[in-house]
Amino acid sequence: MSKSPTTKSRALGKVTLSEVAAHAGVAPMTASRAINQPELVSATLRERVDKAILELGYVPNRAARALASAQSKVIAVLVPSLSNAVFTAVLAGIQDALDPCNYQILIGNTRYSDAEEEKLLFAYMQSNPDGILLSGLTHSPRVQQMLATSRVPVVSMMDLSPEPGAMSVGFSQVDAGYAMTRYLLDKGRKRIGYMAAQLDERTLRRAEGYRKAMREAGLADPALELLVPEPSTIALGAELLGRMLAKVPELDAIFCCNDDLAHGAIFQCQRRGISVPEQLAIGGFNDLPASAWMKPSVTTVGTPLYQTGFEAASLLLASIRGSEVAAQRIDLGFTLMARESA
Amino acid sequence: MSKSPTTKSRALGKVTLSEVAAHAGVAPMTASRAINQPELVSATLRERVDKAILELGYVPNRAARALASAQSKVIAVLVPSLSNAVFTAVLAGIQDALDPCNYQILIGNTRYSDAEEEKLLFAYMQSNPDGILLSGLTHSPRVQQMLATSRVPVVSMMDLSPEPGAMSVGFSQVDAGYAMTRYLLDKGRKRIGYMAAQLDERTLRRAEGYRKAMREAGLADPALELLVPEPSTIALGAELLGRMLAKVPELDAIFCCNDDLAHGAIFQCQRRGISVPEQLAIGGFNDLPASAWMKPSVTTVGTPLYQTGFEAASLLLASIRGSEVAAQRIDLGFTLMARESA
DNA sequence: CTGAAAGCGCTTACAG
DNA sequence: CTGAAAGCGCTTACAG
């Protein structure tokens, strides 16, 4: 009550629920109900409490509520990158799905690193999240263990889990890789290269699809693959185009594991005077905004990014609420966007 | 102690500090110290506690700690967009600066909306953040009021505050807008258009710089400006190029308020057979990755995105720690990148 | 260096 | 519909 403001007290010095209650002439419990379950409070008292809140400028203390209720109202989201437009699109979907529910979203950027993912997950676990959204299917043993121990609902995004109990939302990366390769094959291309960076699990699964299609066509050749661990950028796409051509001069098509690489490869072709698609067909992945507008426009695989985030968050919400979860595994599919570059 | 696991108890059912302490044969206080200030605990006890933590799989409860210590170890960051590469670059800098300090970062996407900003800030205030990072200088009265009431340290990013006490990190948007216009003028261009989207405060300040330069050159003409409120995209850049040209056929240069618009405008020129920069010079803003690689490469203004985030977070940290904050206003400058498009 | 007591600001679980 | 009691899991502020 009478703490001198200069004394370093352990309290925040902010307005508390009790003060609101006192101001409104009710018990703290009633003030709490007026805020969280107003329908259980008589109109008169509810108004008195609302007035007190406004007059005092009351801001609820989330930590206290979390501690008392054992519910954090926190959802943790782990994505491998924020600079990659792919994941910001997924995040937009998540935000929209979660927006009405008043959850606090913890966004963690793992930077494609298992160690970072472990660190972030451990940090987030301390907030007792009500649910977790993860990118991809494969995680380190320690991450798997933390998840198993906590028994928090988890939804995986961007690929489909083969495990029966697991919740996942996305599409088959293998099938999508296969589809693009098949498309290039159908266009009559024979020497089709696969160019990939980052080497995350999705990139590798697209490579599987590529190999399957090439094998079926009797055109498989390891020399056609160029996979590097560096982060995927336009600059890298430009560089890899050069290396690819040096390795396989008779190349007639390239499937880039994503659009950044494809854009870089196309810019490089323009600088070298290689005509796309006449001399070299180029396919990308994810259909980033520039792909539709570049000249030549980029043939690529349209993927349900926003929707993946939206559906994954919705599934997680349903699971948190304990309602019967219809589909544990939501296949959103993909679309081959045939344009000018291939 | 003996709660049946089927009973819905108010507790989380997780291992607590007290259990760790009991397991290690010490008081809870000692276990707490072993975790937070290990140097104050004897080696023997420290090891016993560490062992107990491992064996029990203890995860600290952040809410309890926050409540008891009146310190949240949370920093809230509000950015107007996540799909815009500008802000993800800023975020990367923030993450790197904050990484060693074990803060939890709350990333809020205001979507360029004052209402959203208010909503997010109010939600974040409930977590009692130790500090706040804001984008831009201008905010709604309610946001200003929340900030003032809370007395939480705030650092503004992306522009320089004229207010003496305020902390800000960025560069002068007006000066940068002026510099690009001056550059086009120096190239001998006369009918220089300004094309802008979103109409956020930065876009408007760049417009001020543009107008100043045009006025000084005696070439100012309101007809040369095309400002629209829609979000900035490549598609919009392509569309605005058309509208601009229809309005001012003799246009010989365009300053686009950002690179997305510039890319769209250039793609549109390529589709219409307009040569850049011969017939039309095009300048952009922010130096996104594609700008260096496109053909023609894009003349633009390089801005210290990552650094802004890094320095802003560092300044905030210093302010939270109460150390003498050297510069309240950090001007990181900008760089005109002269390339092929202008 | 170690610990017993009290309290942070809420909500749960009961009563009435 | 309203409220008094107890407790969530930690840390502060004191003692020893």
- Residue B309 has a CB neighbour count (10 Å cut-off) of 28
Does any strand C atom come closer than 7 Å to the Cβ of A66? Answer: no
A5 burial via Cβ count (<10 Å: 0-12, 13-18, 19+): exposed
* Protein CA A11 to sugar C1' D12 (Å): 10
Are A42 and A81 found together in one domain? no
Q: Give per-residue pLDDT as tens, B305-325.
A: 999 999 999 999 999 987 767
pLDDT for A165: 84
Polymer length of chain B: 342
Q: CB A82 to CB B68 under 8 A?
A: no
Report the 3 state secondary structure along B141-172.
HHHHHHHHHHCCCEEEECCCCCCCCCEEEECC
Question: What are the two backbone dihedrals, phi and then psi, of residue B307, each rounded to the nearest 5 degrees?
Answer: -65, -35
Alpha carbon distance A290, A286 (integer Å):
11
Q: Is residue B97 part of a domain?
A: yes
Q: In the block, which residue shows the tokens 């990367």?
A: B92
Nucleotide with minimal C1' distance from the CA of A69 is C11
Cβ–Cβ < 8 Å for B308, B157: yes
Question: What are the two backbone dihedrals, phi and then psi, of residue A148, each rounded to the nearest 5 degrees?
Answer: -65, -45
Q: Is residue A240 part of a domain?
A: yes
Q: In the block, which residue shows the tokens 């959204």?
A: A133
Closest alpha carbon to B134 in B198, B206, B75: B75
- Look at residues B34, B60, B86 and tell me which one is the last residue of a structural domain: B60
Are B146 and B178 found together in one domain? no
* Protein CA B91 to sugar C1' D7 (Å): 40
Residues in chain B within 8 Å Cβ distance of A70: 10-12
Alpha carbon distance B75, A9 (integer Å):
22
pLDDT for A291: 97
* Protein CA B75 to sugar C1' D16 (Å): 38
Give chain B's domain count: 3
Are B203 and B235 found together in one domain? yes
Does any strand C atom come closer than 7 Å to the Cβ of B70? Answer: yes
pLDDT for B151: 87
pLDDT for B190: 96
Exposed e or buried b per residue across B49-85, where buried means at least 16 C-beta atoms within 10 angstroms of its C-beta = bbebbeebebbbbbbbbbbeebebbbbbbbbbbbbbb
Alpha carbon distance A25, A311 (integer Å):
45
pLDDT-based confidence at residue A181 (cuts at 50, 70, 90): very high
Q: CB B59 to CB A233 under 8 A?
A: no
Q: Is residue A83 part of a domain?
A: yes
Closest alpha carbon to B65 in A148, A146, A133, A123: A123
Structure tokens at A227: 């996979």
pLDDT < 50 positions in chain B: 1-8
Please give, rounded to a whole number of angstroms, the shortest distance from the CA of A60 to a CA of chain B. 6
- CATH code of the domain covering residue B46: 1.10.260
Nearest CB to A67 within list B64, B95, B126? B64
Specify which residues A193 forms β-bridges with. Answer: A254
Task: List the beta strands (DSSP E) in chain B.
Answer: 74-79, 104-109, 131-135, 154-157, 167-170, 192-196, 225-227, 253-256, 281-283, 300-302, 329-331, 335-337
Q: Give per-residue pLDDT as tens, A236-286.
A: 999 999 999 999 999 999 999 999 999 999 999 999 999 999 999 999 999
Residue A129: cis peptide before it, omega within 30 degrees of 0: no
CA distances from A198 to A35, A208, A322 (A): 48, 15, 37
Q: Is residue B193 part of a domain?
A: yes
> Which of A9, A10, A53, A61 is the mutation pick for testing B, counting most B CBs within 10 A?
A61
Closest alpha carbon to B195 in B111, B135, B266: B266
Are B167 and B195 found together in one domain? no
Longest dimension (CA), chain B: 85
pLDDT for B326: 64
Q: CB A59 to CB B102 under 8 A?
A: no
Please give, rounded to a whole number of angstroms, the shortest distance from the CA of A268 to a CA of chain B. 8
> Which of A15, A72, A88, A95 is the mutation pick for testing B, counting most B CBs within 10 A?
A88
What counts of helices (H) and strands (E) characterise chain B?
13, 12
Q: What percent of chain A has pLDDT over 90?
A: 89
Are B235 and B297 found together in one domain? yes
Are B297 and B179 found together in one domain? yes
CA distances from B307 to A195, B87, B331 (A): 32, 12, 11
Are A31 and A107 found together in one domain? no
Alpha carbon distance B313, A20 (integer Å):
35
Residues in chain A within 8 Å Cβ distance of B123: 102, 104
pLDDT at A2 over 50: no
Structure tokens at B202: 């930065």
Q: In the block, which residue shows the tokens 């023997």?
A: B44
Nucleotides on chain D within 7 angstroms of protein Cβ? 1-5, 7-13
Q: CB A88 to CB B91 under 8 A?
A: no
Are A52 and A83 found together in one domain? no
Q: Is residue A311 part of a domain?
A: yes
Q: Is residue B6 part of a domain?
A: no
- CATH code of the domain covering residue B96: 3.40.50.2300
pLDDT for B13: 79
Q: Is residue B79 part of a domain?
A: yes
Are B181 and B296 found together in one domain? yes
Are B179 and B246 found together in one domain? yes
Are A121 and A224 found together in one domain? no
Cβ–Cβ < 8 Å for B124, B116: no
Strand B131-135 with B154-157, pairing:
parallel
Closest alpha carbon to A146 in A190, A114, A169: A114
Does any strand D atom come closer than 7 Å to the Cβ of B10? Answer: yes
Are A177 and A298 found together in one domain? yes
Alpha carbon distance A170, A153 (integer Å):
17
CA distances from A247 to A184, A198, A225, A260 (A): 20, 20, 10, 21
* Mean pLDDT computed over A137-166: 92
Alpha carbon distance B71, A159 (integer Å):
39
Structure tokens at A216: 């079926």
- Residue A25 has a CB neighbour count (10 Å cut-off) of 11
- Look at residues B26, B60, B94 and tell me which one is the last residue of a structural domain: B60
Cβ–Cβ < 8 Å for A329, A161: yes
Q: Give per-residue pLDDT as tens, A28-76.
A: 999 999 999 999 999 999 999 999 999 999 999 999 999 999 999 999 9
* Residues 6+ away with beta carbon under 8 Å from A271: B295
* Mean pLDDT computed over A197-216: 97
Task: List the beta strands (DSSP E) in B259-298.
Answer: 281-283
**Structural domain harbouring A288:** 173-302
Give pairs for A218-223: CB < 8 Å, separation 24+: A219/A185, A219/A190, A219/A191, A219/A192, A221/A191, A223/A247, A223/A248
Q: Is residue B292 part of a domain?
A: yes
